[in-house]
Amino acid sequence: MTDNAKGAFRNVIFQGDSVARMRAMPSGIVDFILTDPPYLVNYRGRDGRTVRNDDNAAWLRPAFNQMHRVLKDGGFAVSFYAWNRIDLFMAAWKAAGFRPVGHIIFRKSYASSSRFVRYTHEAAYLLAKGDAKLPHQPIPDVIDMPYSGNRMHPTQKPVAALLPLVHAFCPPGGLVLDPFAGSGSSLVAAQHLGRDWLGMELDEVHAATASRRLAYWGEKRAA
């Protein structure tokens, strides 16, 4: 594939199914994957909003297989997941070829719900492909997560909590992929740090939100 063709996968949001989109990509062109996929918990917010594909796992293994293929050898992926679906997620990550090399806790100042305990954290695994090198200065595996407000997406992640991950695991000028982009928070983090970004999102409204956000912050950077 020519450099021009590879450029077709930089700084763009694709609206549609990310499994199909990734299948059309060359192997090994992504430097870092930062993704917050559906949690498989049939999410319904207090305001009634839902998340597409949160009610079935048909996409899970195909999606992580493709993520592993498009990631460069020695690259990292950070994937959020739901603690009560860890069996499904871990099986998919390992079947795809990923090696779990870290577990990151995002400490929230609020509870997303309260049942047997007050649920005040989010979690993600750091996954490696192949011969990943140790970082010179490892980041802590506990990161503060302020409330995003969920104004642009029902499960919107705050950009501030994602910045350290992009900084640590994507080299300057590298390409960050989020195949479950939602409102584009991970891509905004990549853009803020001068990395290239590639987003995929099934939902038309969220894909449009992400495109607007990236265009807005892109203009701010250029100004």
Ligand X SMILES: C[S@@+](CC[C@H](N)C(=O)[O-])C[C@H]1O[C@@H](n2cnc3c(N)ncnc32)[C@H](O)[C@@H]1O
Structure tokens at 44: 């319904």
Shorter beta-carbon distance to ligand X: residue 31 or 201: 201
Residue given tokens 């992640």 in the structure block:
157
The Cα 157–Cα 144 span in angstroms is 12
Closer residue to ligand X in complex, CB, 71/187: 187
Closest CA to 193 of 219, 221, 213, 152: 221
Closer to ligand X at the Cβ: 51 or 214? Answer: 51
To the nearest whole angstrom, how small is the minimum distance from the Cβ of residue 131 to ligand X? 29
HSE (side-chain half, CA atoms, 13 Å) at 162: 28
Of 129 and 206, nearer to ligand X (C-beta) is 206
What is the smallest separation between the CB atom of 43 and ligand X, expressed in angstroms?
8
Q: Which is nearer to ligand X, 93 or 180 (CB)?
A: 180
- The residue of the chain with the least Cβ separation from ligand X equals 182
Least separation in angstroms between residue 115's CB and ligand X is 21
Handedness of CA 136, 74, 11, 151 (dihedral sign): negative
Is there a contact between 57 and 88 (Cβ–Cβ < 8 Å)?
yes
Residues 174 and 9 sit within 8 Å (Cβ to Cβ): no
Contact positions vs ligand X (CB under 6 A): 17-19, 36-38, 51-53, 59, 153, 155-157, 179-180, 182-183, 185, 200-203, 206
For residue 184, the minimal CB distance to ligand X (Å) is 6
Quick one: 80 or 98, whose CB is closer to ligand X? 80
DSSP track, 139-206:
PPSEEEE-----SSSTTPPPHHHHHHHHHHHS-TT-EEEETT-TTTHHHHHHHHTT-EEEEEESSHHH
Please state, in angstroms and rounded to a whole number, the distance separating the CA atoms of residues 18 and 12: 13
CB of 159 to ligand X, least distance (A): 8
Minimum CB–partner distance for residue 206 and ligand X (Å)? 5
